[in-house]
Amino acid sequence: MITAGIDVGAKTIKAVIVKDNKIVARSINPTGFEPVETAEKTLEEAVKQAGISRKDIKKIFTTGAGRKSIPFADNNITEVTADAKGTNYLLPSVRTIVDIGAEEARGISSDASGKVLDFSKNDKCAAGAGAFVESMSRALELTVPLMIEISHKSTKEAPINATCAVFAESEVVSLIHTKIEKADIAHAVHDAIASRVCSMVRRIPIEKDVALIGGVANNTAIVEAMKKHLGVEIKVPEKPEYVSALGAALLAAA
């Protein structure tokens, strides 16, 4: 059976096609201002990649912040459910999932079958999500990949309160003026977001193994900082930004 999952995120839309419990295609596009069109386009790209035709897809499930806005979907499921299902497929030993997206972060506790036991979420606040990293990279005048790279070379701590992305931007600018190394500022930024996400995740029981998913999981500096703050190893699946879409596709086949 062929099914598709579409994750309609705040920043990007992801589509995954699953055939007989195997991933056959993945596609991603910036959400932009027309999420329905973008979802359509992203799914079409995945269909092409899979070498199938649209009518071969038996069911389409959506997830993500805009999951209810897609008219051609058969059903929609919450991000938390999709995250647990997708992670369980990729990393079956994981019991605690941290998902950091562009505008939201979640901590999820799941059982051996990928069923959600408990979860916690951040309030709508950029300081605990991917949007924070992007704001800070603009303030540092570095691309995000470069900011991650130099962050690993940091040798000193830099003081950033960073409870608010808007204020942190001013803090970063004044740190640059006082001649603090950009590497140390970048490191402090990653540490700040990790610390904030971890205090949110601690509201649920943290059981091993722990996985980090969502687009921010590609940021190795944050993964490192999360390890430090949680005091456990952190697994990152391959292509972590597609986990929710994968979960939706798997649930559509169930």
Partner 1 sequence: MTTEFYRWTENSWKSPDIDWRKGQTVTCGIDVGSVSSQAVILVDDKIYAFCNTRTGSNSPDSANKALSISLKDTGMKPEDIQFIVGTGYGRVNIPMAKKAITEIACHARGANYMGGPTVKTILDMGGQDLKGIHCDEKGKVTQFLMNDKCAAGTGRGMEVMAELLQVPIVDVGKMSLDVKDEPEPVSSTCVIFAKSEAIGLLRSGWTKNMVLAAYCSAMAHRVVGLLERIGVEKEFVITGGIAKNIGVVSRIEKELGLKVKPLSPDPQIAGGLGAAIFARDLLLKSRKAA
Residues that bind partner 1 (CB under 8 A): 10, 33, 103, 123-126, 131-132, 135, 161, 163-167, 170, 174, 177-178
Of 22 and 33, nearer to partner 1 (C-beta) is: 33
Sign of CA dihedral 242, 244, 249, 250: positive
Of 55 and 124, nearer to partner 1 (C-beta) is: 124
**At its nearest, how many Å lie between partner 1 and the CB of residue 164?**
5
Q: In what order do the strands lie in the sheet with 12-19?
A: 22-30, 12-19, 2-8, 59-63, 75-76
**At its nearest, how many Å lie between partner 1 and the CB of residue 84?**
25
**At its nearest, how many Å lie between partner 1 and the CB of residue 167?**
6
Q: Are strands 22-30 and 12-19 parallel, antiparallel or unpaired?
A: antiparallel
Of 75 and 170, nearer to partner 1 (C-beta) is: 170
Three-state SS at 139: helix
**Angle at the Cα of 199 (from 87 to 110), degrees rounded to 5?**
25
Backbone angles phi, psi at 59, to 5 degrees: -145, 145
Of 136 and 223, nearer to partner 1 (C-beta) is: 136
Sign of CA dihedral 136, 138, 139, 143: positive
Determine the residue type at 66.
Answer: G
**At its nearest, how many Å lie between partner 1 and the CB of residue 136?**
11
**At its nearest, how many Å lie between partner 1 and the CB of residue 135?**
6
Number of residues that make up the chain? 254
Of 35 and 237, nearer to partner 1 (C-beta) is: 35
